[in-house]
A and B are shown apart, each in its own frame.
Chain A
Amino acid sequence: MSLIYFNICTLFFGLFLIFSAGRYFHMLQLSSYKNERYLKWCRQNIKDEISVLGILSLFITLFIFLNKLIFTIFFCLILIFRGLTFRKIPQKKKFVITPRVKRLYTTLTLFCIILILIINSFGKANNPKYAFIFFFILAFLSNIPFYLTSLINLINLPIEKAISMWYINDAKRLLSSHKNLITIGITGSYGKTSSKYILSRILSEKYNILMTPESYNTTMGVVKTIREQLNPSHAIFIAEMGAKKRGDIKEICDIVKPKFGLLTSIGPCHLETFKTIENVADTKFELIDSLPQDGLAFLNFDNEIIENRKINKPFCSYGINNNKLSFWAENIRYESDGVKFEFCTSDGLVLPLKTKLLGLHNVLNITGAAGIAIMLSIQPENIAYAVSRLTAVPHRLELKPKVAGGYTVIDDAYNSNPAGASEALTVLSSFKGKKRILVTPGMVEMGDKEYELNRAFGEKAATCCDFVVAVGKKRSVPIVEGLKNKGFDKDRLWVVKNLNEGLEVLKKIADENSVVLFENDLPDNYEEI
């Protein structure tokens, strides 16, 4: 008889686990299915995720043998109630039910079924003590469903690895069947996505280009692009390569075998995983190391770390106002309709260029891309035309089309870094005579120096903006400190809980004569509620 009650309870547990899994699979997805990153989020949010009712029900479990019927009903009601009141947090990046997520659900369901079977088999063997222990385990698990999720992820890991391997081999096969394809790899701590878009636009004057879309820059992102989009009309494949740890770039290079490599910068990015800047440099240089001897590297020599490194491959250098390099930009002017400068080569070409892209770093990115275009025999006049037609990468210092009566928006929401953020502030400050407003939560994933970097960012902001809306009360502490250090007027500073509140503030302070810079955006896992 007791078996029926156990079964009813376990069934409800199972349903509850599967029901609540969506939220945690979503977090897992946002953590790129990396258990390490996901567990960190769990640790930080454990207080919010554990429910009092759940602990209560766990406690009740201990008394289940007193009256099975009453406790079972009580128990199931609590679970239903918890299921119905399950906290839903609005997310900016929606949960996508990918095949991988479906596999996670399948494993979770199997896991629950196995537990039920175990309980049943103990029950049938007239061993209710063990059945109870397993039942208790299940009850306990229902209180920490987020850890169960990471266990399921761990179980699925070998399957996922095998599937990835198959995809990688398929991509390699496709590439090897495409004999004349030239692959260009792009990496760097920052500037790689912008460079990718710029390069692709310039090279498309002559060639059919395939590039990894948006900020796809992981091995699987590159593989996915090849498998879904590569066709024989493509003459050039531009692969953006991102790295979170040593070996990441090499892994991508082993698949795509780049002939050209563009290294945009080396800086303190993802220091939480890299620890030291030397590790970052070594990793980024995996791209250059993987180039063939008849390949060509394009290196940003404005970056000291790159300049000072011993380079064992044929290379071209580029930078700003430095005529000792292969390619450089000089005579840079900021005008109302964009930036104008001269692109120069060591062969004596002086090509006047004009762009709508904001920021000095974009001049640098254009210089590097134009250098590659020259080496791929694109006519200078076509380069100039392509550069004049460039539009900003979405959310990267993107000057949004102005809506009548509204304020001007510079959207720099993606992946802030110290140099980029500082440049964005410079751009904002160049809008003289306007009401300059900064909306930002500051920079994240900066490692040990995060506080210091954010304070410096605040200090610079004090000299560049008229108003600051700091997003996240805890998060923005160093920025506010930086602002105060430089004597920024308190009445011009707002500290808000989240972006939506920030937008409310903007409704009050921003008018037609305002320029609003949205600097950095946060992954959902960082949002303060």
Chain B
Amino acid sequence: MKLNVGVFFGGVSVEHEISVISALQAIHALNREKYEAIPVYISKEGVMYTGSELTQVDNYKDLPTLLNKSTPVSIARMNDGVYLIDINFKRFGLPKKTKIDIAFPIVHGTNCEDGSIQGLFESLRIPYVGCDVLSSAIGMDKDIMKQVLRQNNIPVVDFVTITSRQWASDSKEIIDRVEGEIGYPVIVKPANLGSSVGIKKASNREEFIEAVELASSFAIKVIIERAVNNLKEINCSVVGDYSSAAPSALEEPIQSDEILSYQDKYLNKSGAKGMSSQKRKLPAELSAEKEREIKELAVKTFKALGASGVSRIDFLLDMADGEKVYVNEINTIPGSLSFYLWEAAGKPFGTLLDELIDLAFKRERERGNLMFTYSSNIFAMGGGFSGKK
């Protein structure tokens, strides 16, 4: 008797490939005695597929063949649970279906990590791992996330948010404002993308215009931040939920470009190993005091955003300003699920996954204790009588 864990990955997102790698790592680390991993690959067209072929990374080199061998499915709630249903309808007989007891989304970026897929799971009423709709959505929007953090007295770098329409109509005013309020150098980012796609540093007006043009081709909302010149990046993962959460070991990713580029982050020579193979100092070299401060801030950020499961919080340390710590962003579904940060803290990947699944069930239990519907049917009660049964 095993628990069927539907691992959802891929997706209509620029971080599609990274998600595949993260998910396959998790599938192979799941405790086989307890769980039956059911891969659910979401193609770039948004079609869901399942099948054992999908668990081997090499098969993805020839995607058309892989998809041919796999089964396109739809997810649906039936009376006794949630099922993946074969959508290649046969002329005779019932379609094949596979029950899933819990959903484990390992997707990155828009259309997935931003609360969309979590919303699907909510509607289906299936327990799922990780952040809920709201915290996923907040975590994906850098503008809203920073506003929430600032409201909770968590330090964030100064920023200005614009829309591509504002930029098109009045770039002059925006340039004046940025130069007045922040001053070069700045970093320009699409507000709602994960990873480092579309992010550029600008040291003067020309570079700034170029950077905004690039960022606004990825998102309608663009965020402009003060660039911290002499910086150290520190990442910390947090596991838990709103009631209790714990920080992992700290890492310092090594950058080869001025900011951690997409290439650096995921496409290094080592090939398809994802975030876990990136160059880094682990544990990061920090004073004990700084380390404690960052870990505390990480947990505070995690709770302020209402996160759940595993997240990775990225910090900036301003080395020119006495190592002042800023929260840069939260990744609500971090690459490789940050397992390397937990292994460094003495927690094997399998155990981490166990904990994440337990947290999902805990949330489900807590929700089960709330009242969503009255068991009696109001239509059947008639007459407004409020009596027995």
Which residue numbers of A lie inside 8 Å of B, CB to CB? 92, 174, 177-178, 201, 204, 208-209, 230-233, 389, 394-395, 400, 402-403, 406-407, 409, 411, 413, 499, 503, 506, 516, 518, 521
Contact = CB atoms under 8 A, between A and B. Distances in A.
B388 A409 contact: yes
Contacts of A230: 1
Contact of A232 (B34, B365, B369, B389): B34
Chain B interface category by residue count: 10 to 19
A504 to B, nearest CB: 11
B159 interface: no
A405 B292 CA distance: 58
B135 to A, nearest CB: 22
Given A232-B35, A400-B386, A389 B369 contact: yes
18 contacts: A201-B369, A208-B365, A209-B365, A231-B1, A231-B101, A232-B34, A233-B3, A233-B357, A233-B358, A233-B361, A407-B386, A409-B387, A411-B388, A411-B389, A503-B385, A503-B387, A503-B388, A518-B388
Contacts of B389: 92, 395, 411, 413
A407 B389 CA distance: 15
Interface of B: 1-3, 34-35, 101-102, 357-358, 361, 365, 369, 375, 384-389
A409 B386 contact: yes
A391 to B, nearest CB: 8
B129 to A, nearest CB: 12
Contacts of A201: 369
A407 B388 CA distance: 12
Contacts of B101: 231, 233
Nearest to B364: A208
Chain B interface, DSSP helix/strand/loop, else mixed: loop
B102 to A, nearest CB: 7
Contacts of A402: 386
Nearest to A507: B385
B3 A231 contact: yes
Contact of B388 (A178, A233, A499): A499
Contacts of A411: 388-389
Contacts of B375: 394
Given A232-B35, A403-B384, A506-B387, A208 B358 contact: yes
Contacts of B34: 232
A395 B361 CA distance: 28
Nearest to A228: B80
Given A178-B1, A232-B35, A503-B387, 4 more contacts: A177-B1, A208-B358, A406-B384, A406-B386
Nearest to B35: A232
Nearest to A394: B375
B2 A232 contact: yes
Contacts of B384: 403, 406
A232 B387 contact: no
A518 B388 CA distance: 8
Given A231-B101, A406-B386, A409-B386, A204 B2 contact: no
Contacts of A232: 1-3, 34-35
Contacts of B3: 231-233
A499 B2 CA distance: 48
A430 B369 CA distance: 28
A402 B386 CA distance: 8
B365 A204 contact: yes
B1 A403 contact: no
A413 B388 contact: yes
Contacts of B387: 409, 503, 506, 516, 518
Nearest to B1: A177
A235 B387 CA distance: 38
Contacts of A413: 388-389
A265 B385 CA distance: 36
A432 to B, nearest CB: 23
A403 B384 CA distance: 9
Contacts of B1: 174, 177-178, 230-232
A403 B386 contact: yes
B361 A208 contact: yes
The 7 A-B pairs of least Cβ separation, nearest first, read: A403-B386, A232-B3, A406-B386, A204-B365, A208-B361, A232-B34, A177-B1
Nearest to B361: A208
Highest count of chain A CB atoms <10 Å: which of B34, B35, B102, B361: B361
A268 to B, nearest CB: 26
A332 to B, nearest CB: 25
A187 to B, nearest CB: 25
Contacts of A406: 384-386
A293 to B, nearest CB: 28
Nearest to A408: B386
Nearest to B358: A208
Contacts of A409: 386-388
A163 to B, nearest CB: 21
A230 B389 CA distance: 29
Nearest to A407: B386
A201 B3 CA distance: 22
A389 B369 CA distance: 8
B102 A233 contact: yes
Nearest to B368: A204
A201 B369 CA distance: 8
Nearest to A389: B369
A232 B361 CA distance: 12
Nearest to A178: B1
